[in-house]
Structure 1
């Protein structure tokens, strides 16, 4: 049977074909609310022949959450899908609770996806979420990046995230569920006016704002953002990456409009640090002002240094010293060091040891050398492989210049 284009199943399945048609194993995040329950059923219909797995994050913020996770598990198994409940072990109530819960949710889901070899995790954001996010960010005075629509896909936390329901309204999905006699859970926090999103949602309803029109506006802003990203990518074409350092041509940077300079600095900072999110706008503006006057400045763990006809960006020593020691794998989200023996670990070289190595011969500054990875055995320095290659240690950067250009486009 061919479904009409207005049918939620038609729209969501078409989006899944486009976003995930070649993926053999996919995860679905399901809270139990109407949007995610509809997504789970639509995924089960679409994904025949694929391995579809379901996960529910229990944030422990309400006494009912554990039972709701079990309800989702029963519904998933009735569709022939495996289900896992992921528990958030909250360490503190400090900070923005909802933002912390969101990040914890994504990290838990990313770890689950990686453990199970899933190509992506599908999220249940709808056109209503697009419209509400646009209004929330307008109220906060966000720039064009904040006002642009959510992307249908993005990579973060080592995982690909898909949103195939951005073109579908919340009410359409609930009507689709009712027509099939499928129940869902109404989270009481959706009526809690302590949360910005709830207040915005209620204000939109009171004003009679048109959700599809707002969602379209967010998409138009997204198109404008994409155009700016292409301009920034053109300005970044002569960027060079070497030894964990990124350099930008100063003339091309200075000739670019302020918004393009901001994009270049933000992408470069993320390239240095490997951060999943850009720095706060106020700190970026401070850094841009410093660079404009030729001064060195730090930004979220990166050092920015105008030098001659280039702008150099590299890891801040203090940030590198805070990076946890590793005995294998990736250190400081920047370097992989191989060849370690039992009892050895990787940590920053540090300013105290720089004098013992000939860092100038390696073409590094003193700060770059101090922030570089070193092999230690207890408190004894064994090797500084970036400064002076030494067998059996091998060192590999996690990111190269092409990663920077992708960050410019993604920002």
Structure 2
């Protein structure tokens, strides 16, 4: 991690290792990193991911814990920049994983070279550099490195896709081309996101009831290109769900609600309602209204012997 405050023209660094506790040798590996950091004259901290580990979505949970621990240490150290060593290979694998999951342009844009992280900046300076080049650099300088066995564990989707990359490269789908695809989609997604934010600002209408609903002008929404309309409504949904700290809405669910039902209803002038991730979206009277969905009714149990 790097601290933004400079001392005599140099940026102080703090090396951090996350011990996830998922493999028997992880503690020894963390100690090895600490030893190398000491030889290089760099301060080092080992952070442990403690507590129970989930049986499903283990890698996703580990990633979330890792970034949380790094952000906490950065705040403690007074740093405002967290650096990770994600490489071109990692980017290619990420794009493939999201392609398999049916992601849209935002997902296929892959990992950003820099993004916000809990009030800090997370940056990936090696994102356009092949992993083989980093390995060669370590070998040339005599720096020891460890190969994580989970990277080849077939239980994990990323590891299975990693084995396919050489075969895909033979057909022309190289890591470089996947990275180039991600960059192009990231560029386009940035433009679409800006257009959607502008559109949402223009579409919002004052809610006379003032009860936390969000009202959008229906005719103007229906006249937008669908890609912009989808993102504008997605931003509106996200703004209401942030209050409840809810996870993002999946793209296909938003598409089904908006493109298949609500937009056609607005264009036809017919009422339509759809529930989406705890919200009720209502197209009626030339407006699209977003509000918390009412609680579901719990069916009453029929007493034993009651045949009515």
1:61 is aligned to 2:22: yes
Contact preservation (8 Å) 1:106, 1:157: no
Instruction: Report the alpha carbon displacement of residue 239 of structure 1 after superposing the two structures with TM.
Output: 4.6
Contact preservation (8 Å) 2:15, 2:37: yes
Contact preservation (8 Å) 1:153, 1:162: yes
Question: Paired residue for 2:202, among 229, 238, 253?
Answer: 238
Q: In 2, Cα distance between the equivalents of 1:251 and 1:180? A: 64
1:169-184 matched pairs, under 5 angstroms: 169-184=130-145
Match of 2:252 in 1: 282
Q: In 1, Cα distance between the equivalents of 2:281 and 2:36? A: 52
Q: RMSD between aligned alpha carbons? A: 2.9
Match of 1:257 in 2: 225
Match of 1:371 in 2: none
Match of 2:162 in 1: 201
Equivalences, count: 278
Question: Paired residue for 1:269, among 237, 246, 250?
Answer: 237
Match of 2:5 in 1: 24
Contact preservation (8 Å) 2:104, 2:251: no
Question: Paired residue for 2:38, among 50, 56, 77?
Answer: 77
Match of 2:268 in 1: none
1:88 is aligned to 2:49: yes
Q: In 2, Cα distance between the equivalents of 1:183 and 1:317? A: 58
CA deviations over 1:343-389 (Å, ceiling 9, x no partner): xxxxxxxxxxxxxxxxxxxxxxxxxxxxxxxxxxxxxxxxxxxxxxx
Q: In 1, Cα distance between the equivalents of 2:156 and 2:131? A: 19
Provide the secondary structure at the position in 1 that maps to 2:129. coil
Q: In 2, Cα distance between the equivalents of 1:306 and 1:149? A: 34
Match of 1:331 in 2: none
Q: In 1, Cα distance between the equivalents of 2:29 and 2:203? A: 50
1:335-374 matched pairs, under 5 angstroms: none
Q: 1:198 to 1:79 in 2, by over 3 A?
A: same
Question: Paired residue for 1:167, among 122, 128, 140?
Answer: 128
Match of 2:153 in 1: 192
CA deviations over 1:182-206 (Å, ceiling 9, x no partner): 1111111122122212221211113
Q: 1:315 to 1:92 in 2, by over 3 A?
A: farther
CA deviations over 1:132-188 (Å, ceiling 9, x no partner): 222222233322222113211112444321111112111111111111111111111
Q: Which runs of 5 or more structure 2 residues have no equivalent in the other structure?
A: 266-270, 296-308
Instruction: Report the alpha carbon displacement of residue 298 of structure 1 after superposing the two structures with TM.
Output: 4.0
Contact preservation (8 Å) 1:266, 1:278: no
Q: In 1, Cα distance between the equivalents of 2:124 and 2:175? A: 18
Q: In 1, Cα distance between the equivalents of 2:233 and 2:117? A: 19
Question: Paired residue for 1:212, among 164, 176, 180?
Answer: 176
Q: 1:193 to 1:52 in 2, by over 3 A?
A: same
Q: 1:77 to 1:313 in 2, by over 3 A?
A: farther
Contact preservation (8 Å) 1:156, 1:276: no
TM-score (norm 2): 0.78
CA deviations over 1:66-118 (Å, ceiling 9, x no partner): 11112222222333332222222243534311111111212222222223332
Q: 1:58 to 1:295 in 2, by over 3 A?
A: farther
Larger strand proportion of the pair: 1
Instruction: Report the alpha carbon displacement of residue 50 of structure 1 after superposing the two structures with TM.
Output: 2.0
Q: Which runs of 5 or more structure 1 residues have no equivalent in the other structure?
A: 1-15, 26-46, 319-411
CA deviations over 1:117-141 (Å, ceiling 9, x no partner): 3212112111111212222222333
Q: 1:92 to 1:221 in 2, by over 3 A?
A: same
> More displaced, 199-208 or 244-253?
244-253
Match of 1:291 in 2: 262
Q: In 1, Cα distance between the equivalents of 2:137 and 2:4? A: 26
Provide the secondary structure at the position in 1 that maps to 2:202. coil
